[in-house]
């Protein structure tokens, strides 16, 4: 965005000097009470505004300092908080605008300048409103924000009227727009303090909603307003109340009408120079972004939608010259999005209460009825007034009347006056209203009045394709047009994206959604575009490595490879062709084979299915020539399996332009000129159906792996792949300008790693959810959960287990225990004392104890402050739960056992996994007929949780099942030698069946009913489960019944003589037998036949697929999978009839929103009608995570910043105010290390062992402090560096971290107990390189490696005793400014944390101050303790003798110390 260069005058200099005198102390008193304070703040605000308009580096530095110093929190925001009653009507406009400028800069901080361009997540910009160190009540914050908005808009109105320079005008508008966009995206912000937990609205929601609320109806044409008021009585009442409150004052239409007028003025303005045009485009894109946002929020959609519709704004934009031209692509994309958003199907809104989100999902029938009603209204109007002129429309079917093409043709036959009269009678236009002249509007738009009126009536009367139909016809695979569209798939680096475009044509993920369709549609598009970004990077990497070049007539001129300059282009001739001078591991050149077949050819195109417009299947053959590939590469290509996705690329060297050898500051994967530079003409995706070798053997057949001898070796060096193209894309190509000829030009095939290549299945799952029937969200989610997940309703606690709704649900639903009833806690409590301590402040009564010395299990009933518990004997021989859960953990377990939604916030080290494990075990024992699904984000976390459940020993392993690829890495600590995959479970069951049948044979022999030789199909009891069942009923049960009858006659007698199975239990023959002994042995015999009865169906099923499906749907009671596998397998699971009752989601804070929703939808319900409560079996949903740690990984930062795509469902629910249970005792780290991050949580304390265990009491050997913030100056004159773009490294910190690691190892620390972390991948690679040199072959520490060398992001969820952390940056803070990343970074250490950084830089950052202040309290130079060797006897709180202290001045000194220690080490070795 263009800026006016400001010159710094003496006045500005003096203002700056005065501004520096304003200190944080001034915020301790009411800013509004002191004129001198207001004067100083005004001077500071003027200096900020002047600096913002300047391009001088000193001004930029001043703004950075204001940002880092927390000027907003310390000075500007307190002014609005403390405005007194006399000043409330006149907030200082300049202070408001200065605050908005700094907030906008904060939003763009990750991108560097923060001037213009794409803004980051709104929450980061508005966090000053909920500053945790400020105890101001929420209501006062709301009033202060309203005053801030008032001052900001006053500043805009005043200066935009006075200032005639259009660039300044647009600049101010843009900054206000940026602040409003961020504010609306943060409407759900709430204070963390407990007194605000009951608030149902965000702090700033009220002022923002009022800004575009009922006052907008004053700007709607009178006739239209009267009609809508007549239709909606509640709207009429609310508008009447507003009018009565306004009294005799002039009608206030609010901010939006003026903004729309400004938008329309700039869109229709032609006489702009280049600089003005660039600024205008920035304003237009930001304005449309705000309008799109307002239509996407349920709180604002009602009034804003009515206003936009009444003014026909979208139609006017479509009719404008700017839209019809091709120069402003982003404008066209955003207007198309506005069209779709305004006419979104199935969204009904009530205006009953603006404070309540009450948008609802309408059924398809209701949506169609609205469309048909409009059509009938038009037909009745035409029949009454224009029966002859519009007879075709009057008597046409409703489908015709709603068809835009047909209707446009018929309207063309009407006169212009008739057309206007129809629009007038439909309340669509009114030339009598001031400012609504259609003639003047058409003239400004550059179109005729007839064209405008026709567009208006067609827009309001025509129907549109349903979202499900649009998605069904949309291509899944990205093409070259999408891959290199800067507005849809922007650069992954935030600053690059800001330089490329002012905004993006992307949907956003809000806290609330308009409907289920709205939710799915937004997630579908964002997931597809994020995958496209990854695919683009992979394709670019392959093309670069393969080095396409132009070869002409057998001779290649190096100068002709890429052309001489940017302007020159190599022209194609008959002798030219494209060749590849390099190779790529993930790419292969497509060639013609010996039979002169094409490397790729389409072999079948099936006709469309009924109701579709594209082929049902498009099948092609792909020939891979592996002749020139190394053996390892051939093996990798042979790993291509069924349903893998490949990409075909057409590269034409004759179309290549520009030199490839020039130094480019932008990475090729982010460069949108890459297709032109490398001649990329087309990209298409295909799905593998079958892979054959030259002998015709189908290599992709999974049955080959089970054949004797394993999978056969492929024959020959060629592979023939049968692939499926995207039918929708093929149809689009066939009807396009190039036709299907594009499929003859592919010369590269690209494969991707399997882990990254499952996107198609996930997209098809989301697309399937958009359809009705068995795939509908309303069939899978219970009615009590849907409103909470989508943000409907006024009560975010409606799904909490203590809510009246869930108590009612529990009373009406089988298999659900009411929270007020006794819950079976099983082995949750270790003893009576533990039970009493778990309910502080309650009267705990424990009864029915049997006095046994064995451990008791408990059933507990909680009512208000009374707890009634009854104990019972442990039903299993396992040791049970060994953990003494805290009261908050017990509360979380209780919530997890009750019906409803449970959200558990688990700070680092608070035992989230242990709580999840206990909930799973309690559900398993309490509800034997229910099935529980365990879901995590990563395979490692899933395996860890699965392993802990198995390690308990009280969950029968035959009821456990692990799905997905990570099942291969599962190593349980149980005694089972079988794996827990589907195939492994079947194998285990068949093995167990054989063992049990052998016991049946032994029992039969002991009863003299058969001999050892009598086995097999001759009727032996041990032949099958079926024969064993006959044997039980005819012989065993008969004997048991007779024995039990005799036992009842004399229970105290020695029963050995009458016990029928004495020969089967030889250990009983030497002792007397009591009734208890006999009962125990009879139970063992019955257990054999009971277990065999469960195996009988699997025995009857013959195929492996049938057996695994039965195991999954009928027998397994605990099924574990990752969220990715749930998305991939959803369609198959629903088809199988898979059902479950409980879902436990671990790592919920690290999953994308849609990744958390899909595991809740992998079963079908019973109702097709969304208006009817579905009969979903889902009873409990437990989400466990931590929204204060890093969010889900999104590789393209622009998506996470602009679209909030890194928002997890867990964090969104917390933002909405859904009740959560925050675990409050950590047992991972020392208390002083835990305090570095405990301030982010409510009352996070320490478990007793943190202060009692020896390892926490002892000091860190050879180190004076348990943690330190160590300053690292420039090394050899260099701080941070970027060898390639955005590949940050710091040699000094890398050398320091390796030297410190060497020092620790040399004094005895176990190397695996030390991890080296950093905040950037470039630094990680540098540390690995330096470590390979310092600890490589031939060095004293050869082969020694730390426990991990990783980035902070990758290390989330892991821990180690000692952490060395490198922060890398020396020029600006970078992405550590995100507090969530800081929390992860400092919470990985248990015993020692040593941070290497540019101390002044990070301690100066306002966002990090709570942690950095504690770190900075320690000396800035590393302090060692001489003469110690691991482990030390020195205590952590013991003062170190000054003579033993050794302070390290720099990395050189530490390196010299390590070198001398290595020499001593070698001497001792010798």
Model pLDDT for residues 522-532, shown as the tens digit of each residue: 999 999 999 99
Is the model's pLDDT at 1071 over the cut of 80?
no
Q: Which residue has the higher pLDDT, 503 or 360?
A: 503
Q: What is the pLDDT of residue 828?
A: 93
Q: How confident is the model at residue 1304 (pLDDT cuts 50, 70, 90)?
A: very high
Q: How confident is the model at residue 401 (pLDDT cuts 50, 70, 90)?
A: very high
- Residue 1331 CA to residue 1305 CA, distance in Å, equals 13
Half-sphere exposure of 1151 (CA within 13 A, CB side): 28
What is the average pLDDT across 1445-1463? Answer: 93
Q: What tokens does 513 get?
A: 């959604």
Q: How confident is the model at residue 1169 (pLDDT cuts 50, 70, 90)?
A: very low
Q: What is the pLDDT of residue 975?
A: 42
Question: Are the C-beta atoms of 763 and 513 separated by less than 8 Å?
Answer: no
Q: What tokens does 1064 get?
A: 């089967």
Is the model's pLDDT at 707 over the cut of 70?
no
Q: What is the pLDDT of residue 29?
A: 44
Q: What is the pLDDT of residue 546?
A: 94
Run of H or E residues at 656:
none
Determine how many CB atoms are found less than 10 A away from the CB of residue 863.
Answer: 11
What is the average pLDDT across 1208-1221? Answer: 94
Q: Any alpha helices (H) in 484-583, and if so which ranges?
A: 494-500, 516-546
Is the model's pLDDT at 667 over the cut of 80?
yes
Whole-number Cα distances in Å, 722 to 622, 719, 1128, 1255, 1312: 6, 10, 22, 61, 48
Model pLDDT for residues 772-814, shown as the tens digit of each residue: 665 678 778 888 999 999 988 778 899 999 999 999 998 888 8
Q: Which region holds residue 1016: left if phi is over 0, alpha if psi is between -120 and 50, else beta?
A: left
Q: What is the pLDDT of residue 551?
A: 76
What is the average pLDDT across 736-745? Answer: 86
- Residue 558 CA to residue 551 CA, distance in Å, equals 9
Model pLDDT for residues 12-57, shown as the tens digit of each residue: 344 333 334 433 333 344 444 566 688 899 999 999 999 998 888 8
Is the model's pLDDT at 355 over the cut of 90?
no
Question: Are the C-beta atoms of 719 and 623 separated by less than 8 Å?
Answer: yes
Is the model's pLDDT at 469 over the cut of 60?
yes
Q: What is the pLDDT of residue 913?
A: 93
- Residue 677 CA to residue 656 CA, distance in Å, equals 5
What is the average pLDDT across 362-369? Answer: 67
- Residue 1214 CA to residue 130 CA, distance in Å, equals 15
Question: Are the C-beta atoms of 215 and 245 separated by less than 8 Å?
Answer: no
Is the model's pLDDT at 851 over the cut of 70?
no
Q: What is the pLDDT of residue 542?
A: 96
Contacts of 884 (CB under 8 A, 6+ apart): 830, 834
Q: Which residue has the higher pLDDT, 797 or 1173?
A: 797
Model pLDDT for residues 1348-1398, shown as the tens digit of each residue: 999 999 999 899 999 999 999 999 898 899 999 999 999 999 999 999 999
Model pLDDT for residues 981-1027, shown as the tens digit of each residue: 777 777 778 888 888 888 888 888 888 887 766 666 666 777 888 88
Q: How confident is the model at residue 161 (pLDDT cuts 50, 70, 90)?
A: low
- Residue 495 CA to residue 997 CA, distance in Å, equals 69
Q: How confident is the model at residue 1448 (pLDDT cuts 50, 70, 90)?
A: very high
Is the model's pLDDT at 350 over the cut of 90?
no
Is the model's pLDDT at 181 over the cut of 90?
yes
Nearest CA among 637, 680, 646, 746 for reference residue 548: 680
Contacts of 450 (CB under 8 A, 6+ apart): 416, 419
Whole-number Cα distances in Å, 1041 to 437, 1026, 1035, 1050, 1064: 97, 21, 10, 15, 17
Model pLDDT for residues 629-656, shown as the tens digit of each residue: 888 999 999 988 888 999 999 999 988 8
Model pLDDT for residues 421-445, shown as the tens digit of each residue: 999 999 999 877 766 789 999 999 9
Nearest CA among 783, 801, 785, 786 for reference residue 1220: 801
Nearest CA among 56, 54, 49 for reference residue 16: 49
Share of the chain above pLDDT 70, in %: 85
- HEC states along 425-466? HCCCCCCCCCCCCHHHHHHHHCCCHHHHHHHHHHHHHCCCCC
Q: Which residue has the higher pLDDT, 2 or 553?
A: 553
Q: What is the pLDDT of residue 1450?
A: 93
Q: Which residue has the higher pLDDT, 887 or 1030?
A: 887
What is the average pLDDT across 752-768? Answer: 85
Is the model's pLDDT at 4 over the cut of 60?
no
Q: What is the mean pLDDT of the chain?
A: 84
Is the model's pLDDT at 1410 over the cut of 50?
yes
Pairing of strands 360-361, 1267-1271: unpaired
Burial 76-85 (b: 16+ CB within 10 A, else e): bbbbbbbbee
Q: Which residue has the higher pLDDT, 904 or 657?
A: 904
């Amino acid at each position: 965005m263009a800026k006016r260069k400001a010159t710094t005058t003496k006045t500005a200099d003096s203002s700056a000097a005065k501004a520096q005198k304003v200190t944080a102390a001034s915020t301790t008193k009411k800013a509004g009470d002191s004129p001198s304070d207001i004067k100083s703040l005004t001077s500071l605000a003027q200096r900020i505004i002047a600096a913002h308009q300047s391009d001088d580096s000193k001004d930029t530095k001043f703004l950075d300092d204001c940002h880092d110093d927390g000027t907003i929190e310390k000075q500007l925001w307190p002014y609005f908080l403390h405005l007194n009653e006399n000043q409330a009507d006149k907030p200082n406009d300049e202070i408001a605008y200065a605050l908005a400028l700094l907030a906008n800069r904060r939003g763009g901080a990750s991108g560097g300048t923060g001037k213009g361009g794409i803004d980051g997540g709104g929450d980061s910009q508005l966090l000053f409103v909920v500053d945790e160190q400020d105890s101001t009540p929420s209501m006062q914050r709301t009033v202060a924000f309203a005053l801030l908005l008032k001052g900001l808009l006053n500043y805009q109105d005043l200066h935009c009227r006075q200032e005639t320079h259009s660039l300044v005008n647009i600049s101010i508008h843009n900054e206000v727009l940026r602040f409003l966009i961020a504010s609306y995206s943060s409407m759900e912000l709430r204070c963390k303090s407990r007194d605000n937990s009951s608030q149902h609205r965000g702090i700033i929601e009220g002022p923002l909603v009022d800004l575009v609320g009922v006052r907008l109806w004053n700007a709607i044409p009178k006739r239209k307003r009267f009609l809508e008021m007549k239709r909606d009585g509640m709207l009429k009442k609310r508008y009447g109340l507003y009018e009565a409150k306004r009294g005799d004052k002039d009608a206030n239409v609010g901010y939006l009408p003026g903004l729309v007028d400004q938008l329309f003025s700039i869109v229709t303005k032609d006489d702009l120079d280049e600089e003005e045009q660039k600024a205008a485009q920035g304003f237009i894109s930001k304005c449309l972004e705000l309008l799109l946002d307002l239509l996407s929020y349920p709180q604002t959609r009602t009034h804003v939608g009515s206003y936009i519709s009444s003014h026909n704004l979208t139609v006017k934009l479509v009719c404008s010259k700017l839209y019809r031209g091709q120069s402003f692509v982003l404008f066209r994309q955003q207007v198309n999005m506005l069209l779709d958003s305004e006419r979104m199907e199935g969204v009904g809104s009530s205006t009953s209460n603006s404070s309540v989100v009450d948008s609802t999902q309408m059924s398809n029938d209701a949506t169609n009825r609205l469309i048909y009603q409009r059509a009938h209204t038009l037909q009745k109007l035409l029949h009454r007034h224009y029966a002859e002129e519009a007879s075709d429309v009057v008597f046409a079917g409703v489908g015709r009347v709603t068809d835009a093409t047909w209707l446009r043709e018929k309207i063309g036959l009407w006169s212009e006056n008739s057309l206007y009269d129809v629009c007038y009678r439909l309340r669509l236009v009114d030339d009598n209203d001031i400012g609504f002249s259609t003639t003047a509007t058409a003239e400004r738009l550059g179109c005729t009045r007839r064209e405008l009126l026709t567009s208006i009536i067609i827009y309001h009367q025509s129907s549109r394709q349903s979202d499900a139909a649009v998605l069904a016809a949309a291509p899944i695979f990205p093409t070259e047009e999408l891959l290199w569209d800067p507005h849809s798939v922007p650069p992954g680096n935030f600053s690059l994206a800001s330089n490329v475009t002012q905004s993006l044509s992307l949907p956003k993920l809000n806290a609330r959604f308009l409907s289920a369709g709205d939710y799915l549609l937004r997630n579908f598009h964002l997931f597809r575009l994020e995958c496209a970004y990854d695919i683009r990077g992979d394709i670019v990497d392959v093309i670069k490595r393969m080095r396409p070049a132009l070869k002409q007539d057998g001779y290649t001129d190096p100068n002709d490879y890429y052309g001489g300059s940017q302007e020159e282009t190599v022209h194609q001739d008959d002798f030219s062709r494209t060749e590849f001078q390099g190779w790529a591991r993930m790419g292969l050149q497509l060639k013609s084979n010996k039979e002169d077949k094409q490397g790729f050819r389409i072999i079948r195109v099936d006709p469309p299915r009924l109701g579709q417009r594209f082929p049902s299947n498009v099948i092609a053959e792909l020939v891979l020539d592996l002749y020139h590939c190394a053996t390892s590469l051939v093996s990798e290509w042979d790993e291509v399996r069924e349903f893998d996705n490949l990409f075909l690329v057409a590269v034409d060297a004759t179309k290549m332009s520009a030199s490839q050898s020039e130094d480019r500051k932008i990475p090729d994967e982010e460069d949108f000129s890459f297709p032109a530079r490398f001649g990329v003409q087309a990209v298409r995706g295909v799905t593998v159906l079958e892979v054959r070798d030259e002998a015709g053997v189908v290599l992709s057949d999974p049955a080959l792996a089970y054949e004797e001898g394993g999978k056969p070796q492929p024959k020959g060096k060629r592979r023939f792949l049968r692939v499926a193209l995207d039918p929708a894309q093929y149809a689009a190509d066939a009807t396009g300008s190039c036709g299907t000829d594009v499929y003859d030009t592919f010369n590269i095939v690209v494969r991707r790693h399997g882990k990254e290549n499952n996107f198609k299945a996930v997209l098809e799952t989301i697309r399937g959810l958009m359809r009705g029937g068995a795939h509908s969200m309303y069939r899978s989610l219970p009615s009590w959960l849907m409103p909470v997940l989508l943000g409907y309703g006024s009560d975010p606690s409606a799904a909490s287990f203590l809510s009246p709704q869930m108590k009612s649900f529990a009373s009406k639903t089988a298999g659900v225990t009411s929270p007020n009833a006794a819950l079976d806690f099983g082995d949750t409590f270790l003893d009576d004392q533990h039970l009493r301590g778990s309910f502080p402040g309650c009267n705990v009564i424990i009864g029915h104890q049997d006095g046994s010395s064995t451990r008791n299990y408990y059933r507990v009933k909680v009512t208000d402050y009374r707890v009634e518990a009854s104990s019972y004997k442990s039903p299993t021989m396992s040791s049970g739960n060994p953990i003494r859960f805290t009261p908050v953990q017990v509360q979380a377990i209780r919530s997890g056992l009750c019906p409803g939604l449970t959200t558990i916030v688990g700070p680092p080290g608070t035992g989230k996994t242990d709580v999840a494990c206990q909930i799973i075990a309690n559900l398993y024992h309490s509800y034997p007929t229910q099935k529980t699904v365990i879901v995590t984000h990563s395979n490692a976390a899933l395996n860890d949780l699965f392993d802990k459940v198995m390690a308990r020993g009280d969950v029968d392993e035959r009821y456990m099942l692990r799905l997905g690829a990570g099942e291969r890495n599962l190593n349980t600590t149980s005694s089972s030698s079988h794996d827990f995959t589907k195939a492994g479970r079947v194998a285990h069951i068949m093995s167990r069946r054989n063992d049990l049948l052998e016991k049946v044979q032994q029992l039969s022999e002991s009863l003299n009913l058969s001999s050892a030789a009598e086995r097999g199909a001759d009727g032996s009891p041990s032949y099958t489960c079926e024969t064993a069942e006959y044997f039980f009923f005819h012989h065993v049960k008969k004997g048991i019944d007779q024995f039990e009858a005799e036992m009842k006659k004399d229970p105290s007698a020695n029963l050995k003589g009458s016990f029928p199975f004495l020969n089967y239990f030889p250990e009983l023959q030497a002792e007397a037998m009591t009734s208890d002994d006999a009962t125990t042995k009879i139970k063992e015999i019955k257990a054999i036949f009971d277990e065999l009865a469960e195996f009988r169906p699997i025995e009857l099923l013959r195929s492996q697929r049938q057996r695994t499906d039965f195991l999954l749907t009928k027998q397994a009671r605990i099924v574990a999978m990752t969220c990715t596998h749930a998305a991939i397998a959803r369609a198959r699971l629903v088809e199988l009839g898979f059902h479950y009752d409980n879902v436990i989601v671990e790592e919920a804070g690290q999953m994308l929103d849609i990744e958390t929703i899909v595991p809740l939808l992998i079963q079908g319900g019973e109702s097709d009608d969304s208006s009817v409560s579905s009969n979903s079996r889902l009873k409990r949903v437990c989400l466990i995570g931590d929204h204060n740690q890093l969010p889900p990984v999104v590789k393209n930062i622009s998506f996470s910043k602009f679209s909030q795509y890194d928002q997890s469902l867990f964090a969104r629910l917390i933002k909405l105010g859904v009740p959560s249970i925050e675990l409050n005792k950590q047992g991972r780290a020392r208390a002083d290390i835990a305090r570095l991050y405990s301030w982010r949580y409510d009352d996070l304390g320490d478990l007793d062992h943190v202060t009692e265990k020896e390892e926490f009491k002892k000091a860190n050997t050879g180190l004076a402090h348990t943690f330190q913030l160590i300053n690292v100056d420039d090394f050899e004159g260099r701080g941070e560096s970027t060898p390639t773009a955005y590949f940050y490294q710091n040699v000094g910190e890398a050398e320091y971290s390796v030297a410190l690691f060497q020092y620790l190892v040399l004094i005895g620390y176990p190397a695996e107990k030390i991890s080296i972390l950093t905040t950037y991948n470039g630094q990680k690679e540098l540390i690995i390189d330096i470590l390979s040199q310092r600890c490589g072959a031939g060095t004293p520490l050869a082969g020694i490696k730390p426990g991990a060398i990783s980035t902070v992001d990758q290390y989330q969820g892991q821990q180690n005793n000692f952490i060395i952390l490198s922060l890398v940056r020396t020029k600006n803070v970078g992405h550590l400014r995100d507090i969530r990343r800081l929390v992860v970074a400092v919470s990985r250490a248990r015993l020692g944390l040593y941070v290497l950084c540019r101390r002044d830089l990070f301690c100066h950052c306002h966002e990090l101050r709570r942690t950095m202040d504690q770190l900075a309290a320690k000396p800035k130079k590393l302090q060692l303790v001489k003469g110690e060797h691991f482990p030390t006897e020195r205590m952590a709180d013991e003062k170190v003798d000054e003579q033993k202290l050794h302070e390290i001045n720099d990395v050189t000194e530490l390196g010299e110390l390590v070198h001398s220690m290595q020499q001593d080490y070698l001497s001792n070795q010798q």
